[in-house]
A and B are shown apart, each in its own frame.
Chain A
């Protein structure tokens, strides 16, 4: 399972970085979203991925680490607020400059 999760994170980061470096603001924002998803999946995986463990402490069964779950919640909230903000900003930029190029010029 670790291999699958690592591949997912790798694909998300690669795609996210590629899109972030594009010239149009919408593609950039999509790339930023993918990057934040990658970071969140990695955060969740950092606590150790134990298959079939109990969600609540129950006698001798292995329990998943609760701290990465808290970290992921915080990171998800922060990243969705930032994504909302950057979307509105990109829209405002499009209205102000009649183009959605990140450099302010038509790519």
Chain B
């Protein structure tokens, strides 16, 4: 069992190393290794999810070191859910990349596998310095993937993304120093088992909130997202949607265990509420489709944060469902934006030539827009409804207005984009070439997953409710981790 828990980290790592050794071979060999690696990783993640269905929390300590001193990997419902989400989104991104993006630069697949390794490790680890290390792994791969295939705009956006995230990483290290200085431990379970106080501890926690908020693009740390996501290659943008969820997961895990999420509730709730409006207004103001989807990502992360900020397992489970659904839908929207960009040599939201396979592409956009705006009976509707029903008793019915106004603005944005791109077609101009079916398959995959989320929303919501209760149950987490037998017999 313990070996399988390392699977989601080791399989991409080994695949990446194999890909580096095969760097001079043809792209077909790279694609084969990468696909096998990603499929195996998804398989192992699904297996781990199955082991957590009955509430088991599996813990493995690296090198069998006694637990507060060694680094632990912990799999519970929340981690397993995020691992499965990563794997499924990665399959969609890989499918989109196989069409030709991976040939435009070097070492795409190795960087992709390292990215998966970093994200999986961040979801699995139970030690905050190890979290920092996995954050760095996923960040450096993200830098490489963002800059893939070059070009002026990409390099410019990439330099700013790199500088910003380096500052964030430095703040993370400073916060870790303060945590270790004030508590003497870096293990999340040991942090939850003790009660800490004092100005150094508070500063450390505040700094960690800044770092995780930067990764999650929480308002007011969201300014980097639209530029970076619109410059990224489309399959990379799909995978980047998972990175913001890493930030959300880190807030839930680190804060939930160290101080309890209740201490943060006003801040997270406020940032979420402001972020919904900021994301919606930013999307309305966007000139291009990719920028618009970037702002919609900010809006969806803020909705999840608002639900977390309500507090309690209902809010957390609503936030998780909404995070799952929005990752899939925004990924699909990024891929549709790529189709539009290729067909029209640009993604500005104005009238232009009719796209080929017009009915299919516009139908997928309509479905994605319905999902995002939360029209029934899509998963967006279920997600928004869960968030609303969690907010009303928890924070007061007045706050529902914020969520609904944000939803209305998102609906206006998406319908304006849809009508500009697909209705106001200028038949005098012609688009460049047909849309191959292979370009539509990843979109169908991601939207199909969100439809599955809709069809199975009952069991999924039940499972996520259990996941939220388990995640908030810090006593059993500390007990399970700290009682793991380590050391040689």
Contact = CB atoms under 8 A, between A and B. Distances in A.
A in complex with B = yes
Interface of A: 13, 16, 20, 25, 28, 32, 35-36, 38-40, 42-43, 45-48, 67-68, 71, 74-75, 78-79, 81-82, 85-86, 89-90, 92-93, 96-97, 102-104
Contacts of B178: 42, 46
Given A28-B163, A47-B180, A82-B166, A93 B129 contact: no
A6 to B, nearest CB: 11
Given A13-B174, A82-B169, A102-B159, 6 more contacts: A20-B167, A38-B170, A39-B170, A39-B174, A48-B181, A97-B156
B155 interface: yes
Interface residues of B, number: 27
Contacts, number: 94
B488 interface: no
A46 B177 contact: yes
B232 to A, nearest CB: 15
Interface string B133-170: 10010001001000100101001101110110011011
A97 B153 CA distance: 10
Contact of A102 (B133, B147, B163): B163
Interface in B167-189: 167, 169-170, 173-174, 176-178, 180-181, 186
A82 B166 CA distance: 8
A25 B159 contact: yes
Given A82-B140, A82-B166, A96-B152, A90 B159 contact: yes
B155 A46 contact: no
A85 B159 contact: no
A63 B152 CA distance: 53
Given A28-B163, A89-B158, A46 B181 contact: yes
B155 A89 contact: yes
B163 A43 contact: no
Given A32-B170, A42-B177, A71-B176, A85 B129 contact: no
B136 A71 contact: no
B174 A32 contact: no
A36 B162 contact: no
B152 to A, nearest CB: 5
A74 B174 contact: no
Given A97-B156, A104-B156, A85 B140 contact: yes
B141 to A, nearest CB: 11
A92 B176 contact: no
Contacts of B186: 67
Residue among B158, B160, B166 with most chain A CB within 10 A: B166
Contact of A67 (B133, B158, B180): B180
12 contacts: A25-B159, A32-B163, A35-B166, A68-B180, A75-B173, A78-B133, A85-B140, A86-B159, A86-B166, A89-B162, A97-B156, A102-B159
Contacts of B162: 85-86, 89
Nearest to B157: A104
A40 B265 CA distance: 32
Nearest to B129: A71
A36 to B, nearest CB: 6
Contact of A39 (B136, B152, B173, B181): B173
Nearest to A20: B167
Nearest to A34: B170
Contacts of A43: 173, 176-177, 180
Contact of B174 (A25, A38, A86, A96): A38
In this complex, the member of B147, B150, B173 whose beta carbon has the largest number of chain A beta carbons within 10 angstroms is: B173
Contacts of B159: 25, 86, 89-90, 93, 102
